[in-house]
Structures are given as C-alpha cells and as structure tokens.
Amino acid sequence: MIDIIKIIGIGFISLIIIVILKEYKRDFAVYAELIGGAIILYFCIDYIKGIIDFINGLSVTGISNSFILLLIKITGISILTEFSVSVCRDMGENAIASKVDLGGKLLIVSLSIPIITATLSGLLGLLE
C-alpha cells in the first residue's frame, strides 16, 4: 500500500513540475516527464522482479524452460511497450505511440505462436 502512495506522489509531483515547466520552459518539460517516468519505473522494479521470479518458479512444475523464457520475454516486451507508448502520448505523438503499440502487440503474438501451438496440440491430443 505504501508503494502505490509513493508512486502516486511521484506522479503528482512530476505533474506539477511538468505543468510549471510547460508554462515557462517548454523544452525542459520533456526531460521532467522522462525523469518522472523513470523514477516511477524504478519503484516498480521489485514488482517486475516478483513477476519474473513467479514465472521462473513455474519451471518446478515441469513446464518447459523455453516456454518460461518466452513468458519472461513477453512480460518484458509488454511493460516496455506500454511505458514507451505512454511517453509518446505524453509528448503529443499519438501517431508514433500507435505504431509502437502495434509493433509490441505483433511481437508478442509472434513470440506466443509456439505456446499457442503446444496448447492446441495438447487439446487435440485430449480430444482423440
């Protein structure tokens, strides 16, 4: 609970700084946005590590290590894509944000194909 309060606090402080900078020094507002986003991302690293540890813990259950590696890659791609899209949209570049979003989604789908194939093969094996 304390972590979300820190994240929200940093978000509001960043927002106030950005609004002030946009009024007086518009060029510096971009840097404040990036720094604020990086600080918030820093506070999220422990949670990202927790997600990765959970996925790594799946290897004990007998799930293939290649699938676990794919899950870690997909998780990382989704987090980085969302962060990049948010930065692009904050800077008013919605067209670029849409392209980054599409690229991230396509990459995730392409990485998911082996998992989808294995799942469908398993289901078809159960039906036979």
Please give the residue range of the domain that contains residue 5. Answer: 1-45
At residue 1, the pLDDT reads 65
Same domain, 93 and 40: no
Mean pLDDT of 86-104: 89
Q: With pLDDT > 90 as the criterion, what percentage of the chain qualifies?
A: 16
Q: Please state, in angstroms and rounded to a whole number, the distance separating the CA atoms of residues 66 and 115.
A: 10
Using an 8 Å Cβ cutoff, are 71 and 31 in contact?
no
Q: How far is CA 128 from the centre of its chain?
A: 39
Residue 118 maps to a domain: yes
Q: How many CA atoms lie within 13 A of 73 on its CB side?
A: 15
Residue 109 buriedness (CB in 10 A; 0-12 / 13-18 / 19+): exposed
Q: Where residue 6 falls among pLDDT bands split at 50, 70, 90?
A: confident
**Residue 110: what pLDDT?**
92
- Highest-scoring range by mean pLDDT, 12-21, 67-76, 98-107: 98-107
Give me the chain's average pLDDT, please: 85
19 vs 128 pLDDT, higher one = 19
**Per-residue pLDDT at 101:** 93
The reply to whether 54 falls in a domain is no
- Residues 86 and 120 both lie in one domain: yes
33 and 85 part of one domain = no
pLDDT band at 87 (very low <50, low <70, confident <90, very high): confident
What distance separates the 2 farthest-apart alpha carbons in the chain? 70
Residue 67 confidence (pLDDT)? 79
Separation between Cα atoms, residue 38 and residue 35, nearest integer Å: 5
Domain identity same for 39 and 71:
no
Identify whether residues 77 and 125 lie together within a single domain: yes
Total structural domains within the chain: 2
Are residues 86 and 29 located together in one domain of the fold? no
- Express each pLDDT in 7-52 by its tens digit: 888 888 988 898 899 888 888 888 888 898 889 888 888 888 887 7
